[in-house]
Amino acid sequence: MSRKGENIYKRKDGRWEGRYVKARNEHGKIIYGYIYGKRYAYVKEKLAKLKVEYSFIHNSVNLYEGTVQNWLNHWLDVLMRKKIKLSTYSSYRLRIDKYIVPFLGKKKLTQLKSREVEEFVNYLTSLALSPSTVHSIVTVLKSAMNKACMENYILSNPCNNLSLSPNTLNEISALSMKEQGKIEQVALNEKDCSAVILALYTGLRIGEISGLKWSDIDFEKDVISVRRTVYRISSTARSKKTEIIMAEPKTKSSKRAIPLAKNLKNYLLSKQKIATSEYVISCKNSYAEPRVISYRFRKSIEQAKIRPIHFHVLRHTFATRCVERGIDIATLSKLLGHASIKLTLDTYTDSLWENRKAAVSVLDDQLGLQHVLPK
């Protein structure tokens, strides 16, 4: 016999029906689920289990009242601000204000649908953005939506099961040996220490070179310590103005020690003798910010008469030369300050192809010997 409040009823067809709160829609309205059975005891037992399973819907849902823009601002400025680096905050803010808010910002958070997120991705693609840029923007949106789910502000993440095109890596365009020789010749003729030489023989990033001090180089122990980096961030999301930030490297792996080899050591010692700044690469007796280093590099390219390239290609060239000389990938990953060996493998997979060919050729020689042996 059913009791009041159980939500179990006898149907006209003779079966028992149990009703439970299964979910809520975007407006917070309850969606019911039903269980049927020929016996009251069976329905009561099953209904009790389902009520426990779905009790979180009834007890803990606290649907968010604001818009997508409201939530993104709260997520970034309140929940994330103290957990992330200033450079990361700046890049997240840019992605939110420039791409996400103009397209999705006015939607109520609880009413955002997967279809609308897919339309947003198609919009990003229509802007001719690179796959990696699209992925980075969607990643920010996904993270914010995941947090909203965890707080029970929305019932499900509209970014789940989103289909994105493969995040194809940009082709690594290292300098050829001939090109490297030309740019090195120009760099070695510079009076002061050259950022080009540092990049080609240490693999340092441009911001790391910019922040490198003479005190970071231990000439007795032959170690270069990467302790800081210089970068530019937007002053405000809607402004073209930028400001220079000097801070610790972005990740733990980026804060690293690089062995100082003999020839580079001699080169640096000769430049230290005439240095007028505490910074290895200087400008007006202070550090040379990345823009200055890039400007000088463009001038060096013109002198060397090689193809136009970005300064970052020098880092790729360092890594490629290491791979060509058989340096193992774990060691290279440490030198580059990558967060994982996988990142190094994914980035330099083409450079490693020749090494793989050489490896199988060594084993293949054995097959050749076996083949010619007399029976």
Whether the predicted pLDDT of 33 surpasses 80: yes
Averaged pLDDT for residues 19-30: 67
pLDDT for the residue 238: 55
Nearest to 323 by CA among 314, 315, 332, 334: 332
The 10s digit of each residue's pLDDT in 260-302 is 999 999 999 999 999 999 999 999 999 999 999 999 999 999 9
pLDDT for the residue 233: 77
CB-based contact 277:286 (threshold 8 Å): yes
The 10s digit of each residue's pLDDT in 72-92 is 999 999 999 888 888 888 889
Plot region of 50 (φ>0 → left; ψ -120 to 50 → alpha; else → beta): alpha
Q: Map the chain to HEC letters.
A: CCCCCCCEEECCCCCEEEEEEEEECCCCCEEEEEEEECCHHHHHHHHHHHHHHCHHHHHHCCCCCCEHHHHHHHHHHHHHCCCCCHHHHHHHHHHHHHHHHHHHCCCEHHHCCHHHHHHHHHHHHHCCCCHHHHHHHHHHHHHHHHHHHHCCCCCCCCCCCCCCCCCCCCCCCCCCHHHHHHHHHHHHCCCCCCHHHHHHHHCCCHHHHHCCEHHHEECCCCEEECCCEEEEEECCCCCCCEEEEEECCCCCCCCCEEECCHHHHHHHHHHHCCCCCCECCEECCEECCHHHHHHHHHHHHHHHCCCCCCCHHHHHHHHHHHHHCCCCHHHHHHHHCCCCHHHHHHHCCCCCHHHHHHHHHHHHHHHHHHHHCCC
Whether the predicted pLDDT of 23 surpasses 90: no
What gap in Å lies between CA 138 and CA 163, rounded to an integer? 11
**What is the percent of the chain where pLDDT is above 90?**
51
Q: Which domains does the chain have, with CATH numbers?
A: 8-60 (no CATH), 68-150 (1.10.150.130), 177-354 (1.10.443.10)
Nearest to 344 by CA among 203, 221, 233: 203
The 10s digit of each residue's pLDDT in 179-223 is 999 999 999 999 999 999 999 999 999 999 999 999 999 999 999
Residue 245 burial by Cβ neighbours in a 10 Å radius (0-12, 13-18, 19+): middle
Whether the predicted pLDDT of 372 surpasses 70: no
**What is the percent of the chain where pLDDT is above 70?**
83
pLDDT for the residue 168: 45
Q: Say what the pTM is.
A: 0.67
pLDDT for the residue 341: 87
More confident residue, 204 or 7: 204
Backbone angles phi, psi at 174, to 5 degrees: -75, 155
pLDDT for the residue 149: 86
The 10s digit of each residue's pLDDT in 104-159 is 999 999 999 999 999 999 999 888 888 888 889 999 999 999 999 888 888 778 98
pLDDT for the residue 268: 97
Q: In the predicted model, what is the mean pLDDT of the chain?
A: 85
Whether the predicted pLDDT of 328 surpasses 70: yes
pLDDT for the residue 116: 93
